[in-house]
Amino acid sequence: MERIGGYLVERRLGEGGMGTVYLARTRGGRPVALKVAKAELAADPVFRERFRSEVEAARAVGGFHTAPVVDADVDGETLWLATAYVPGPTLAERLAADGAMDEPQLRSLGAALAEALESIHSCGLVHRDLKPGNIIMAVDGPRVLDFGISRAVESNRLTATGTAFGTPGFLAPEQALGHDVTGAADVFALGAVLVAAAGGSAWGEGTPMGLMYRSVHEPPDLAAVPAALVDVVAACLAKEPADRPTPGVLLDRLTEPAPAPAGPDTPPYAATLVDAPPPSPAPTPATPPPAPAIPSPASAILSPAPATPASAPAIPAPAAVSPAPAPAFTPPPPPSTPPYQPPLQTATPPHPPAQSTTPPHLPAQPTTPPHLSATPPHLSAQPAAAPAPYGFGPPPVPYGSPEVVLADAQAGVVVSASGVLLELAGTTADFGWDEIAHVERHWVGNRLTVTVRLWDGTVYSCELNARRRARLTAWLAQLDPVLVRYLTR
């Protein structure tokens, strides 16, 4: 098999304006996407100089929604660029197979693309050719490709043909007219991508010249866009660059939390998780649980530790708690926690009173099994422990084999005794605990990202949209103790 720049080429992935893209591997076996420039481009001194500067800027681009540049040759006879290989279908392939996206999926896609553009623009780059074919629907979220070479290719095409670089139907008016291009052109393309993902076409069908004419002179067709997103998509497709939102503003608009439903979807303790009153001096079993305070900073790395944590977290519970024995998996309290004394019941309990089952010559025994705490942690009047680096105070080892399942409309995370499973749009990545070096969870706004780092250095991430602060809080309260359980074994 052929080697290019020390990379072993396995197969051809595709071809574009720059040249050919191959799947290749490093000497250690790591996959990369190797983009090799066409010979006629590599022979052009103007292209070579622009390619060099663009690659240097692209090396600084990071974030969850791009494919980072890992290597390049800007001086050799053959010019090439290697990026991290991101498996998965393109957005164009996904839409052809599954059809149009609904509103939650469109919001998630738009937010991911806006976040990618923020990373690209912050390094002084403009993509210039954002379209469904340049977006990979990876297991951990959409990834934007080819952000490091677009301007170099554009420079050559303008010199050679005098025509605009990009894809008609996604070109901003200033691109179609050959004017200077800024990051606002990428926002315009993002708006056109969202229309396509909704099942429509912002500028209809026809010849490339016809599409470019309509993008400059006519309003977009937004009939396929859900009503709640029409305004934000229309703002992206404004004719004047100054009238379009920045990627940061667009990210805010696409992730605005929806009003909490008044129906059964709202848990009875949601208000407590957001704004809990101070604990009563003498709580009763019916007292709602205090909310676990979200720790600061808003990022934490969970990795194997030599010792088991010693204090218990505050765990949310339903608004009404039965006086029956504590639930399974409730860890014992620290030694300083006084035993819980339930108040006298004036009404007949749903089960026989304890004293009726205790022979008179024996002292009354606690009804709580020996492995469980007599004091439900969520009813304890003790002050909560200070936040630890990995969550709501160091949780103790839960009893049994706990698991947690977190999911939104498009993605999911499962943590269990067998390992961690990440899922996005039906595509899954499953890892056993023997493969996992550590797990990181991070949140921005109401979005929670769970990242799995393997011992071989591979990193996988999955982003979930909680949409409400209360739901995010509940997710963290479930996730942290279970991760600590398996990462401190």
Could you give the residue ranges of the DSSP H alpha helices within 37-134?
A: 39-42, 45-58, 91-98, 103-122
Across the range 348-368, mean pLDDT stands at 43
Write down the pLDDT at residue 198: 97
38 annotated to bind ligand:
no
Q: Are 391 and 478 in contact (CB under 8 A)?
A: no
The token pair at 454 is 């393997």
Strand-by-strand arrangement of the 404-407 sheet: 404-407, 411-416, 419-424, 427-432
Buried b / exposed e across 94-126, counting CB within 10 Å, b at 16+?
bbeeeeebeeebbbbbbbbbbbbbbbbbeeebb
Which pLDDT does position 487 carry in this prediction?
80
pLDDT tens-digit readout, 122-152: 888 888 889 999 899 988 889 998 764 554 4
Q: Which residue has the tokens 């996407």?
A: 33
Write the CB contacts of 131 (distance below 8 Å, at least 6 apart in sequence): 92, 167, 169, 170, 189, 192, 193
- Catalytic status, residue 430: no
- Which one of 44, 129, 146, 480 is the catalytic residue? 129
Confidence at 489, pLDDT banded by 50, 70, 90? low
Q: Which domains does the chain have, with CATH numbers?
A: 91-254 (1.10.510.10), 291-313+390-489 (2.30.29)
Q: Is the pLDDT assigned to residue 107 strictly greater than 50?
A: yes
Identity of the amino acid at 282: A
Give the global pTM. Answer: 0.52
Count of all residues that appear for the chain in the document: 489
pLDDT of residue 25: 94
Q: Residue 456's pLDDT is what?
A: 86
Per-residue pLDDT of 447-480, as tens digits, reads 899 999 898 888 898 888 887 787 888 888 888 8
What is the per-residue pLDDT for 375? 37
299 neighbors 390 (Cβ within 8 angstroms): no
Residue with tokens 């990428």: 186
DSSP string, 127-150: -S---GGGEEEETTEEEE---SSH
Angle between helices 247-254 and 103-122 (to 10 degrees): 160
Q: What is the mean pLDDT of residues 50-67?
A: 79
Task: Assess whether pLDDT exceeds 80 at residue 45.
Answer: yes
Q: What is the pLDDT of residue 147?
A: 61
33, burial (CB in 10 Å: exposed 0-12, middle 13-18, buried 19+): buried
Average pLDDT of the segment spanning 170-197: 94
pLDDT tens digits, 233-265: 999 999 999 999 999 999 999 987 654 544 444
Mean pLDDT computed over every residue of the chain = 73
